[in-house]
């Protein structure tokens, strides 16, 4: 074989491959459409396999979402801390569960009655020294345990205002 024949043979090979490349590029979008249509035709020919694969993909997505995130990146939650109260010390009332400055703190006659009260009636809200404004100074007189937690309730004496000298029980978390 001469060099001319080799060059002619290479040119003919290159010419043959160039037209073949054009249909491959045009076939790529139709291959995606064919895969989708074959997957959808699976719904009619084998519904168990179709719905099983859809359910598997959904379960995998739920698992990925549930496991996502880095725990170290999350800020620590800061809740209301129970202050170490002492008998005879002066504190002020502050509602642990309210952001409203006008919220009041409930005093009751016996420890544990806080969970049972219903003050939906106007007379209950305006009773004598039952609801005190936040910031009212009080003195701790004694403690009561509840629900396996020591010092859950504190008996307090009101130090200022119209109710000065009155005593009642409040949640210890409401005394700061």
- Tell whether the torsion through CA atoms of 57, 63, 65 and 69 is positive or negative: negative
Q: How confident is the model at residue 129 (pLDDT cuts 50, 70, 90)?
A: confident
Where do the H-state alpha helices sit in 46-152?
47-67, 122-125
Whole-angstrom CA distances from 175 to 42, 79, 131, 137 are 67, 15, 14, 9
Q: Is pLDDT at 111 greater than 90 in this prediction?
A: no
Q: Is pLDDT at 136 greater than 60 in this prediction?
A: yes
CATH 2.30.30 domain range(s) in the chain: 90-174
Q: What fold, for 90-174?
A: SH3 type barrels. (2.30.30)
Q: Is pLDDT at 158 greater than 90 in this prediction?
A: yes
pLDDT, tens digit, 9 for 90 and up, residues 13-27 = 555 554 555 555 555
């Amino acid at each position: 074989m001469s060099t001319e024949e080799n060059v002619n043979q290479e040119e003919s090979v290159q010419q043959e491959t160039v037209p073949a490349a054009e249909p491959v590029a045009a076939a790529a979008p139709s291959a995606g459409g064919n895969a989708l249509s074959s997957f959808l035709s699976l719904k009619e020919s084998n519904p168990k396999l179709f719905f099983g694969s859809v359910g598997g993909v959904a379960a995998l997505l739920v698992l990925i979402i549930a496991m996502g995130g880095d725990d170290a990146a999350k800020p620590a939650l800061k809740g209301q801390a129970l202050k170490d109260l002492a008998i005879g010390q002066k504190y002020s009332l502050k509602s642990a569960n309210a952001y409203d400055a006008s919220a009041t703190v409930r005093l009751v006659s016996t420890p544990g009655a806080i969970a049972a009260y219903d003050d939906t009636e106007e007379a209950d809200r305006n009773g004598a020294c039952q609801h005190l404004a936040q910031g009212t100074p009080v003195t701790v007189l004694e403690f009561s345990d509840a629900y396996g937690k020591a010092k859950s309730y504190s008996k307090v004496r009101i130090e200022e205002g119209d109710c000065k000298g009155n005593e009642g029980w409040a949640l210890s978390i409401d005394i700061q």
